[in-house]
Structure 1
Amino acid sequence: MPTLSRPGFPAASIAALAVGETIVWAAFYYTFPALLTRWESAEGWGKTTLTAAFAGTIMLSALLAPFAGRLIDRGRGPALMAGAACTGACLLALLSVTTSLSLFVAIWLALGVVMAGALYEPCFAVVTRALGPSARRAITGITLVAGFAGTLAFPMNHWISEIGGWRLAAQAMAALALFCAAPLLWLSTSRLEAHALARASAIERPRPAAEALDEAAGRRRPFFLLTLGFAIIGASHSLVLNHLLPILESHRMSDDLAVLVAAGVGPMQVVGRLAILGFERHLSNRVVALASCVAVGLAACCLFGSQFLPLLAVLFVVLQGSGYGTVSVMRPVMLRETLGEANFGATSGQMARYSTSAAALAPFAGSLLWLIGGYELTLLVVAVACVVAFTAFASLAAHQNHPST
């Protein structure tokens, strides 16, 4: 299997960034689902209000993604990401002492700003700016490590909450973000920015923003196709994952087995990313994206069929996890391959605005589909949507104006 170590490759910076990303994902994203039931039981806050607040957090992070991208294009990535980690730590510390639901909601909305500056989108923009054609390898490595953020967040929050309550757990996550994530993000992104500046001196300098806007008309179609494809796949995964336990319950699957099926999707995402590393020289980015569409679409069919043949639930786990696991890698890589590196951060943020919003709204759309025609209709719509995503990726020209090599 290929490794991240090779001459000129900033492996140490990528490793530090991967650990930092794992921590910020655990602290700012997975803390919410990890502590949700404790907020309900300890504070008496309703699940509907709590989850609505988190949905608002995700939507706000999506809206701010282009702004974060523009800062990265201007070389402000280190300050943005390290500053977001510090700000997020302060917000979690404030969260741990609040007794007001309205203040709780306001803090989570503010964490949406933090997410826009600390999670995958800004991270991948920094990496792409620094490494260009080598970004795919680095991004895959980062997602392999950060894929275990939930594995860190859920047990850590559970154990600390058992000892001292959810407030102590929130304080622990804040400390982890402030004293571990922030320094790692600062050091790694500072070195990557230096790498980007050295690389920029050897290649064509980015075009002025006005000139880039003039050229945008000819790039609207590929941008639209990429955004449509990734938004659909992200929304499909979000819908299925959020409704997975109710779907399996409607198939009369036992609670223990249903939880086991749900727990298997995450590890299979890591398997999908490992496959990218193993076959990166033999599979183009476009082929990987098309395969992801096929895998997620077939997974919906397997989930539908599991009511008749329970063993299909195993195949669902393999297809859903490994298929979607490649998406977070392919999105920045294909964007660079298709539209080039000029103003990459802003363009990536614009794409994230749509894809993240789609993923945030998908669970609600799934509930509406369930009301209309049950989960049979819901899964049928997911399968058809994956066909649309496949068509969008297939419509991209085989040879781009800005090749990856």
Structure 2
Amino acid sequence: MLAVRPNLPRARTTSLREAKVPLGIVSALGLTQIIGYGSLYYSFSILAPGMAKDLGLTVAQVFAVFSASLFVGGLSAPYIGRQMDRIGAAMVMAIGSALAALTLILCAWSPSVAVFALAIVLLEISSGMVQYQAAFAALVESDPRSASRSITYLTLIAGFASTIFWPISTVLMGYLSWREIYLVYAGLNLAVCMPLHLWIMRKGKVATASGSRPAREPVIGTIPRERRRAAVLVVSAAFALVSFTLGAMLAHMVPMLGALGLGSAAVVIGSLFGPAQVLSRLINMIFGTRLPPPGLAVVSAALMVVSVLILALSGDWLAGAVAFSVCLGLGSGINSIAQGSLPLYLFGSDGYGALTGKMAAARLVTGAAAPFAFAAAMEQFGIGASLVLSAALGAIGILAFIAVAMATKRSLVATPKTSD
């Protein structure tokens, strides 16, 4: 049973809702997240066939290198998180943008498979320095009180990364090689992302030095420090289990739908995932302000697990497949918000970078293993049974999130209302 802090004042909750969102920083980070995810993650699936042909590999082997890089990236996440607490998240993001540009150039130059593999691994490490983990920490660093709402706005903007970069990468493939495209993306990271990250860093320093920024009131988490380790393990395991379910579905969505008998419609059905992600974040931004992060995590996990069960039960039924893709996208969109807001709500703003780094490690390592594990399960047990097994793992994550939500709710109900 998770214990929670019994004296969290209700006035604190009100101040969090009324805190002003730093729209300039959120907008700048939104642009860098679109470029960061688009150039370092979403473009890979479009460019992979060209990479395989150029390097004399199969597409499966190229994706194996990518999965290995995700695993290494997960292992590096705790160290990156500690550095964000030590030197500042914006500084880490600025360094990460420079490293991303250099590794994209190294990847474009790579004369051999070994150099290519090294470049892809370094690329994933740099991704951990510029994507959500770091961006969320930068928002907490800027203003802990408004960070939860800022995270919602940021994920809404960044949700367009795949919508923008999948078509861009596809069009560029008609004119440039994958190596030349990576050089273009290196220029974006260096010329757009790095200056914006440096601007965010300088903005914070100038505001603090001039006294124009009031003392940043830290957010106090609902979990007392003596219970933090157990709670971190529970929440990390929950996110990891849900990440396994999501990672398995995303890696195999289109071919799996095709194998179920949906044919050419599989691509169209899979394309519904992205808009559903953005829709869920928009709905949460407008209507979800009163739902605390533990409840948000429960809803996101439940949507993803339900989506998998729908597909397992519906088979080649078109409406069932559409419901699967939409529900999975809705859950995934909210899950991104929960990854940033739940640790802040439970554990507070102190040490946020290091804490989310540990959680990201568990999530990324599990997500990296998901495509291979699910493929092996499909080969051994078939698609239907594999979907049920994946949903069962996700259901355990739901139970963990429910335990957290119930514990925090009991604490808030038992807390007497305080006045300002």
Shift in CA distance, 277/195, structure 1 to aligned 2, threshold 3 Å: farther
> Corresponding residue for 1:177?
189
Shift in CA distance, 200/52, structure 1 to aligned 2, threshold 3 Å: farther
**Offset at residue 99 of structure 1 (A):** 2.5
**Offset at residue 131 of structure 1 (A):** 2.1
The yes-or-no answer on 1:297 pairing with 2:305 is yes
> Corresponding residue for 2:382?
374
TM-score (norm 1): 0.89
Q: Give the aligned residue type for 1:301.
A: L
**Whole-Å Cα distance in 2 between the matches of residues 44 and 351 of structure 1?**
37
**Whole-Å Cα distance in 1 between the matches of residues 20 and 244 of structure 2?**
37
Contact 2:144 2:217 survives alignment (8 Å): no
The yes-or-no answer on 1:99 pairing with 2:111 is yes
> Corresponding residue for 2:13?
none
- Which among 45, 64, 78 is matched to residue 66 of structure 1? 78
**Whole-Å Cα distance in 1 between the matches of residues 182 and 36 of structure 2?**
13
> Corresponding residue for 1:140?
152
The yes-or-no answer on 1:119 pairing with 2:131 is yes
Q: Give the aligned residue type for 1:329.
A: I
Matched ranges for 1:234-249 at <5 A: 234-249=243-258
**Offset at residue 220 of structure 1 (A):** 1.9
> Corresponding residue for 2:346?
338
**Whole-Å Cα distance in 2 between the matches of residues 154 and 308 of structure 1?**
27
> Corresponding residue for 1:42?
54
> Corresponding residue for 1:398?
408
Shift in CA distance, 378/189, structure 1 to aligned 2, threshold 3 Å: farther
**Offset at residue 183 of structure 1 (A):** 0.9
Q: Which is further off, 6-15 or 322-331?
A: 6-15
**Offset at residue 217 of structure 1 (A):** 4.9
**Offset at residue 98 of structure 1 (A):** 2.4
Contact 1:337 1:400 survives alignment (8 Å): no
**Whole-Å Cα distance in 1 between the matches of residues 19 and 340 of structure 2?**
23
**Offset at residue 399 of structure 1 (A):** 4.5
Contact 2:94 2:198 survives alignment (8 Å): yes
Structure 1: gaps spanning 5 or more residues: 1-5, 207-214
Shift in CA distance, 195/33, structure 1 to aligned 2, threshold 3 Å: farther
- Which among 266, 270, 294 is matched to residue 274 of structure 2? 266
**Offset at residue 341 of structure 1 (A):** 1.7
Contact 2:305 2:391 survives alignment (8 Å): yes
**Offset at residue 310 of structure 1 (A):** 2.1
Shift in CA distance, 187/367, structure 1 to aligned 2, threshold 3 Å: same
The yes-or-no answer on 1:17 pairing with 2:26 is no
- Which among 348, 353, 356 is matched to residue 361 of structure 2? 353
Q: Give the aligned residue type for 2:239.
A: F
Contact 2:76 2:361 survives alignment (8 Å): yes
Give the 3-state SS of the residue equivalent to 2:272 in structure 1: helix
Shift in CA distance, 44/390, structure 1 to aligned 2, threshold 3 Å: same
**Offset at residue 84 of structure 1 (A):** 1.0
The yes-or-no answer on 1:110 pairing with 2:116 is no
The yes-or-no answer on 1:232 pairing with 2:241 is yes
**Whole-Å Cα distance in 2 between the matches of residues 307 and 196 of structure 1?**
58
Q: Which is further off, 83-92 or 147-156?
A: 147-156
> Corresponding residue for 1:321?
329
Shift in CA distance, 308/172, structure 1 to aligned 2, threshold 3 Å: closer
> Corresponding residue for 2:260?
251
**Whole-Å Cα distance in 2 between the matches of residues 204 and 293 of structure 1?**
28
**Offset at residue 401 of structure 1 (A):** 8.2
Shift in CA distance, 135/219, structure 1 to aligned 2, threshold 3 Å: same
Q: Which is further off, 238-247 or 259-268?
A: 238-247
Q: Give the aligned residue type for 2:64.
A: A
The yes-or-no answer on 1:155 pairing with 2:164 is no
**Whole-Å Cα distance in 1 between the matches of residues 201 and 244 of structure 2?**
30
- Which among 293, 316, 325 is matched to residue 285 of structure 1? 293
> Corresponding residue for 2:8?
none
**Whole-Å Cα distance in 2 between the matches of residues 72 and 243 of structure 1?**
34
Structure 2: gaps spanning 5 or more residues: 1-17
The yes-or-no answer on 1:78 pairing with 2:90 is yes
Contact 1:20 1:180 survives alignment (8 Å): yes
**Whole-Å Cα distance in 1 between the matches of residues 402 and 54 of structure 2?**
50
**Whole-Å Cα distance in 2 between the matches of residues 229 and 20 of structure 1?**
28
**Whole-Å Cα distance in 1 between the matches of residues 277 and 41 of structure 2?**
18
Contact 1:161 1:167 survives alignment (8 Å): no
**Offset at residue 157 of structure 1 (A):** 2.2
Contact 2:269 2:325 survives alignment (8 Å): yes
**Offset at residue 181 of structure 1 (A):** 1.2
Give the 3-state SS of the residue equivalent to 2:289 in structure 1: coil
TM-score (norm 2): 0.86
Residue deviations 1:31-77 (CA, integer Å, cap 9, x gap): 32120011123332222331122112211221111111112212432
Residue deviations 1:91-111 (CA, integer Å, cap 9, x gap): 212222223111111111111
The yes-or-no answer on 1:166 pairing with 2:178 is yes
